C-alpha cells in the first residue's frame, strides 16, 4: 500500500505544481481532440442529417457501414493514415507525419462515424411534423432541414461531445501518427503508456487522474444534453 499511497501523493503534487510534462501532454490532447471533433462535425453532421431525412437505394447498407465504422480499431485508422502521409505515401511531400496535424487527421476519421450515427439517431427521433409544418408555412426544403437541425441541436451537441470523449481517450492513432514526441505530440494516453513502461508510475497516474476527470466532465455534459 505504501507504493500506491506514495505514487498517488506524488501524482497529486505533479498536478498541483503544474509539472511541464503534465501540462504539455494535457494541452496536446485537448487541442488535437478539439480540432478533430471540429473537422468530424463538418463531415459527420451533414452526413447524419442527409441519411436520416432522405430515402435512396442502398440506404440500409450505408447505415450498416456507419455502424460498423464506429467500432473501427484505432490502429487500423492509424495504419491507413500512416500509409498516406509517410514519405512513400501520396501525401508524404507535406511532411505532416509525427506532427499534431497527422494525429488530427487520424482522429477525425475515428470521430466522423460517431458524429454521423448519433446525429442520424437524433434526427430520426425528432417530431415528424417539424419538416411538413415548416413546408406548409412557406419554408423551402433547405430552411425546413435547418429548422429540424436547430430543433435537435442538443442531440447533435451530444454527438459531438461523445466524439470528443472517444478521441481524447484513444492511443493507437496518437502513437502511430504522432510518434509520442515530448512537448510536441505526446498526449495523455501515449504518455501514460510510456511513463508506466519506464517505471514512472506517479507521472502516469497523474495523467490518468486528469484523463478520468476529463472523461467524467464529458459524460456529465453528455447526460445533461441527452436529458434536454
Per-residue pLDDT of the chain (228 residues; tens, 9 = 90+): 577 788 888 888 989 999 999 999 999 999 999 999 999 999 999 999 999 888 889 889 999 999 899 888 899 999 999 999 998 889 989 899 999 999 999 999 999 999 999 999 988 887 677 777 776 766 777 788 888 888 888 889 989 999 999 999 999 999 999 999 998 999 999 999 888 888 788 888 999 999 999 989 888 887 887 676
Fold of 20-227: MetI-like fold (1.10.3720)
- In three state form, how does the secondary structure of 67-101 look? HHHCCCCHHHHHHHHHHHHCCCCCCHHHCCCCCHH
Burial tier of 150 (Cβ tally within 10 Å: 0-12, 13-18, 19+): exposed
- Would you say 25 and 188 are in contact if contact means Cβ atoms under 8 Å apart? yes
Which residues are within 8 A (CB) of 113 and not within 5 positions of it... i.e. 6 or more apart?
44, 66, 67, 69, 70, 72
- B/e letters for 47-66, b = 16+ CB within 10 Å, e = fewer, are bbbbbbbeeeeeeeebeeeb
What does the domain layout of the chain look like in residue ranges?
20-227
How far apart are the C-alpha atoms of 47 and 26, rounded to whole Å?
31
The three grid cell numbers given for residue 110, joined into one nine-digit string: 475515428
Amino acid at each position: 500500500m505504501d507504493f500506491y499511497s506514495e505514487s498517488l501523493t506524488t501524482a497529486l503534487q505533479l498536478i498541483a505544481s503544474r509539472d511541464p510534462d503534465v501540462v504539455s501532454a494535457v494541452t496536446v490532447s485537448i487541442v488535437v481532440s478539439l480540432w478533430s471533433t471540429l473537422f468530424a462535425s463538418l463531415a459527420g453532421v451533414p452526413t447524419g442529417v442527409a441519411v436520416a431525412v432522405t430515402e435512396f437505394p442502398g440506404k440500409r447498407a450505408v447505415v450498416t457501414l456507419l455502424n460498423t465504422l464506429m467500432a473501427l480499431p484505432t490502429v487500423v485508422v492509424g495504419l491507413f493514415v500512416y500509409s498516406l502521409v509517410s514519405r512513400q505515401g501520396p501525401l508524404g511531400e507535406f511532411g505532416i507525419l509525427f506532427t499534431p496535424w497527422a494525429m488530427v487527421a487520424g482522429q477525425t476519421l475515428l470521430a466522423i462515424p460517431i458524429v454521423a450515427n448519433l446525429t442520424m439517431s437524433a434526427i430520426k427521433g425528432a417530431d415528424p411534423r417539424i419538416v411538413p409544418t415548416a413546408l406548409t408555412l412557406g419554408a423551402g426544403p433547405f430552411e425546413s432541414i435547418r429548422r429540424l437541425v436547430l430543433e435537435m441541436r442538443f442531440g447533435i451537441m451530444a454527438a459531438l461531445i461523445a466524439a470528443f470523449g472517444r478521441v481524447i481517450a484513444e492511443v493507437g492513432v496518437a502513437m502511430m501518427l504522432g510518434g509520442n514526441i515530448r512537448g510536441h505530440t505526446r498526449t495523455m494516453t501515449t504518455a501514460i503508456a510510456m511513463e508506466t513502461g519506464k517505471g514512472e508510475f506517479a507521472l502516469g497516474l497523474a495523467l490518468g487522474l486528469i484523463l478520468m476527470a476529463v472523461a467524467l466532465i464529458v459524460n456529465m455534459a453528455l447526460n445533461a444534453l441527452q436529458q434536454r
